[in-house]
Chains A and B, each alone.
Chain A
Amino acid sequence: NAGVTQTPKFQVLKTGQSMTLQCAQDMNHEYMSWYRQDPGMGLRLIHYSVGAGITDQGEVPNGYNVSRSTTEDFPLRLLSAAPSQTSVYFCASSMDGSSSYEQYFGPGTRLTVT
């Protein structure tokens, strides 16, 4: 049972490039989400999904796309990278989105956009 896995661990992009951050979980969780962590800002929700085929926007969705074709995977796409997207990105999952269940976090992807 690997939990929540994220790849890559580190990434450097040039402004305007696109890329996909991968996230997978093997706990059969319905709810998955993406956060970015910036100094002094805590974690901010980018997008989330309550099940395969269902996604919704969080607090800071601009510049990011998501899709959820399977229960296990929830990739995050940066369409045209900007320096403001330099951050640490965390994927998380939980049984569902209700208040009863904790979220399990992946180890994070540190992204630098130059």
Chain B
Amino acid sequence: GNSVTQMEGPVTLSEEAFLTINCTYTATGYPSLFWYVQYPGEGLQLLLKATKADDKGSNKGFEATYRKETTSFHLEKGSVQVSDSAVYFCALTANTGNQFYFGTGTSLTVIP
């Protein structure tokens, strides 16, 4: 079946620290992979995506590379800011169906 596993939170970092949030997946077919971000009190917003192996998605200083050999899509940012404090969700959609599958979310707090 299809599923996403992402690292447990919460994660607390100091401003300008390096961020990694791990995400691994199980999927039938050839999935597309996404990172969504949810700011307090809001709905989810797409942060970045990758639709095939070795693609790198990037946005707002965040990056993630679609690694088929390790079935991973880890989110990274070189220098986090207080404004990056949010919950981050890894997700996939497999081309075998019409469903999106989300991980459990990782809460990030960045302190000044």
Q: Flag if A107 contacts B42 (CB, 8 Å).
A: yes
Most B CB atoms within 10 A — which of A4, A44, A97, A106?
Answer: A97
**B51 A99 Cβ-Cβ under 8 A:** yes
Q: How many residue pairs, one in A and one in B, have C-beta atoms under 8 Å apart?
A: 59
User: How near does chain B come to A58, taking the closest CB pair, in angstroms?
Assistant: 6
**Contact (A99, B94) CB under 8 Å given A45-B99, A48-B99, A107-B42:** yes
Interface range on chain A (Cβ under 8 Å from partner): 20 to 34
B62-106 interface code vs A (CB 8 A; 1 in, 0 out): 000000000000000000000000000100011101111111110
A105 at the binding interface (Cβ < 8 Å): yes
Q: Which of B42, B98, B104 has the most CB of A within 10 A?
A: B98
A-B contact pairs, 10 of them (CB 8 A): A31-B98, A33-B100, A40-B104, A42-B103, A43-B102, A97-B93, A97-B98, A99-B51, A99-B95, A105-B44
5 tightest Cβ-Cβ pairs between the two chains A and B: A97-B98, A105-B43, A99-B32, A42-B104, A43-B102
Residues of A participating in the B interface, judged by any CB pair closer than 8 Å: 4, 31, 33, 35, 40-45, 48, 50, 56, 58, 90, 92, 97-100, 102-108
